[in-house]
Amino acid sequence: MANNYISQFFFHSEPTMSRIVMVAAAQSGPVPRNESRKDTVERLLAMMRKAHRQGSDLVVFTECALTPFFPHWYMDDPREVDQYFEMEMPSEQTEVLFKEAARLKIGFQLGYAERVEKDRTVRYYNSSILVNKEGQIVGNFRKIHLPGYNEIQPDHPFQNLEKYYFDVGDLGFRTWRSFGGVVGMCICNDRRWPETYRVLGLRGAELILLGYNTPCHNPQFPEMDSLVSFHNLLCLQSGAYQNGSWVIAVAKAGTEEGVAQLGQSCIIAPSGEVVAMCHTLSDEVIVHSCDLDATLPYKEGIFNFEKNRHIQSYGPITQQTKSTPPEH
């Protein structure tokens, strides 16, 4: 019985060509508040070129890669806030990234703060874009699961004001055919929610790209500080395995404006195994050869959604937000 199962899912009667994507995770060290956008972009360019020298097809940058993670402090002047947001993409300061990507024939994913004005309404998003090897934007995402608060916490040593600065993303969890496979994106706290991976999995994701800024200290629940590293890997590995996808997770690392951040950028295989990880708290590039066909034993086996999902039993997932235990 076991041998039949193995042969069914690991050995195909017809030979298939492997779909290899060389992916680089480009971790950023701290971005000081007084560092210019031009200097920050130069750091990203240096990592892009390093990834290219190592044969990468795609380089993944972190969340809000162009600025320090400003939700860690409070600002009440809209003009000061706006300086951290991009009004267009590519912008005058980021266009060089697109041109260099096209020259090198390497794609990239970039996280940034996005300001959108439409019909006299201004929205602010924590966003990311997917750019192909020709320097063209082929996909965009806006963070959905915003953590933290919408007002200042005076007793906390630093703030987490994402709900204050950002609107909830309005694009959903989408996927795109690119880099020889199916690519999805999410951002930071989205990675902690199983719904994120499952929707991307249902939309065929073989590569899931994300950036994150994760403090080492949780002011609200300090007893969780010792679990920060464990929880980071737990959600990434389980999300990869349960949906048969590669997960590329890229951090902002080190102490930035007084806030120590985790780092631990990594590449997770569809098996849930960590196959590459950063070991510094500064700018660092790791590269791994991701075989998209390695997703097949999971997508066609235990996590064959078409054969094994029973949506008639999943109603509460989309019908309610609050937990409702039985009364008795």
The token duo for 111 is 């996280």
Distance between CA 153 and CA 168 in Å, rounded? Answer: 21
Q: Which of 89, 103, 101, 83 is nearest to 36 (CA)?
A: 83
Q: Tell me if 231 sits within 8 A of 193, measured CB to CB.
A: no
Residue 93 backbone class (left: φ over 0; alpha: ψ -120 to 50; beta: rest): alpha
Buried (b) or exposed (e) across 165-202, using 16+ Cβ within 10 A?
A: bbbebeeebebbebbebbbbbbbbbbbbeeebbbbbbe
Tokens 């199983």 belong to 194
Instruction: Determine phi and psi for 183, rounding to 5 degrees.
Output: -115, 135
**135 three-state secondary structure:** coil
Q: How far is CA 17 from CA 11, 57, 180, in A?
A: 13, 18, 12
Q: How far is CA 300 from CA 13, 284, 295, 306, 318, in A?
A: 14, 35, 8, 9, 25
Instruction: Determine phi and psi for 41, rounding to 5 degrees.
Output: -65, -35
Q: Which active-site residues does the annotation give?
A: 63, 143, 188
